[in-house]
Chains A and B, each alone.
Chain A
């Protein structure tokens, strides 16, 4: 946000605006930038998902729209969704039904405020950044329950209920896994965490010690569940619940659910990148090479790698059942993550 504010100051007569406007305009501008970034990222991710799944399944996926490998297919689809009729079923709770997609999206959107894409490209550096992400990121569950309940459809209700149980359960192991990183850094600020990993691949927390490596896996699995991806996609399990909580949605509101899903994927990948893969820092040790790739691009590449693994998992695994999902959270991931925190703490104290 600082850099945006500086850029804005270049506009003539910007200084003459009232102080209130000077405070608000940078916020708005950065929101728009984040939104545009997210929308672009989601468009790309949807295309990528379709391509990855297609190639895993011996198909080609979209090939026509836009020319090269159908790169414009998702743009066309997004436009189609925006132009579609907005159907609100008669027996729904109208207000909640209309609000739910935006709240779901809001959670993912707001969390991006503290994600540092580059050395200076972030909106703000909260000193409780990680806590903020964990808190805001789970906002989406409220939207999902709202959608499930307001749809007045039993499948949606099941989806909403499953989502609530699942997301809340998996918050715990993922938050505890995040703690393993916070202990060595001693700060909740995302920027501080990235700065602590500067200087090449060997400084990444992923490879610092085995406990954090395992914590990364725990976080990755838990984050899959948080964003409702296969094998944990039971809230929208197609073969059981039709489409779960967004069964009744169509057109733009459905598009928002879609946007939120992929934005959430991107969010958890960004968080994992920041916490474990060194964020925007260089891969090679600085003694070997100078910084020849800009930080934000590195950040996106790392996040994309994680997202690719998410997709790869999705297209090779079946789906868990509800009780097995809960078992995995409470009886496998939670004990493991607790042990890992202990291990990291022990290392921090006695190493």
Chain B
């Protein structure tokens, strides 16, 4: 959008304490009235130097730190890390561990997308769906707590295995939850996704073309929202995702150009349904086994380096580990999905209105814990 400035430019400082910057992001808005010429993100308010921390802890001790990157999807964060270390050490896990990991990761994906959808509704001004989403998310967290004892930061996936096995009857509870949950998605669609006001607010703003998305390294639901059918679970499978029957949700642009905020939002809603499908199939594949069977006594990977990425709810999460053969990682670099998405923000939000800036930011579904690390 071309912006013709007729008046003075006013700098509006949005954040780091602002209700809708999803944490402590700071946006420097150059505004003329309601129009925003530039929205310059400033990050780092939640910086803990995760990468320096982990150079001083041994490999299993890193897992609690990875939990704290994306605290809305901690199960996926640690899954990526343990898979990377397992790849480096060449550990094979048994079928039960594999299935449980998939079930947990997908439940966590649902929980994370529920936060995304709910907070997005809140950004647009509708508070009710937010609490409905949280109600369903609580059920998932209850399941997690029953299994591993924590609700948010699990430390459940261990290198070579899992902390605990399921409790008896857990599978039934998961299926019960899925049965209950699937109609709730339609409920959410009725109150929010299909609402005319919501569609008008989101379907024509924040257009991200596939070219821009790929150039800025945008991944995950945000990339798929632009119509690019790319999912690490399908295109570079891990954990045997290739054998599971599910669709890669892409933005179709029903209400406007492809790549709008609505598309990105809708990809998440569709993914939630796909996750339900995956969980159903994986629960059927569960076989008995010992979940701590292949946990090594000492995690001491050989010297070398490895890069691995997984599809976490906010995009591709990559871990690049350089090992010098010691007990602690020599260097661990995280490719954080939100970080790359955020770098495209300035490009996408150029020339929108103040309310749109909030809408675009919400549709990116960022978690500052992961951007700043």
Binding site for B on A (CB under 8 A): 53, 56-59, 154-155, 158, 230-231, 233-234, 237-242, 315-324
Contact = CB atoms under 8 A, between A and B. Distances in A.
A281 B244 CA distance: 67
Contact of A318 (B18, B19, B192): B192
Contacts of A58: 131-132, 135
B201 A320 contact: yes
B354 A239 contact: no
B356 A321 contact: yes
Contacts of A230: 125-126
Given A158-B12, A231-B197, A238-B20, 9 more contacts: A53-B128, A57-B131, A59-B131, A154-B12, A231-B125, A238-B125, A239-B122, A239-B124, A320-B201
Contacts of A240: 20, 354-355, 358
A43 to B, nearest CB: 22
Given A154-B12, A237-B125, A317 B132 contact: no
A319 B128 contact: no
Interface string B128-144: 10011001000000000
B34 interface: yes
A242 B19 contact: yes
B212 interface: no
A242 B21 CA distance: 11
Nearest to A323: B353
Nearest to A321: B355
B354 A320 contact: no
Interface in B183-208: 191-192, 195, 197-198, 200-201
Contacts of B9: none
Interface string B25-40: 0000000001000000
A239 B19 CA distance: 6
Given A231-B197, A240-B20, A316-B128, A321 B135 contact: no
Given A58-B132, A231-B197, A321-B201, A239 B358 contact: yes
A185 B349 CA distance: 53
B255 to A, nearest CB: 14
Most buried by B among A57, A233, A240: A240
Contacts of B160: none
A238 B19 CA distance: 7
Contacts of A154: 10, 12-13
A56 B187 CA distance: 13
Given A154-B10, A238-B19, A323-B353, A317 B358 contact: no
A214 to B, nearest CB: 19
28 contacts: A53-B127, A57-B127, A154-B10, A158-B34, A230-B125, A233-B125, A237-B125, A238-B20, A239-B19, A239-B125, A240-B354, A242-B19, A315-B128, A317-B125, A318-B124, A318-B197, A319-B124, A319-B125, A319-B126, A319-B201, A320-B197, A321-B353, A322-B34, A322-B353, A323-B34, A323-B353, A324-B197, A324-B200
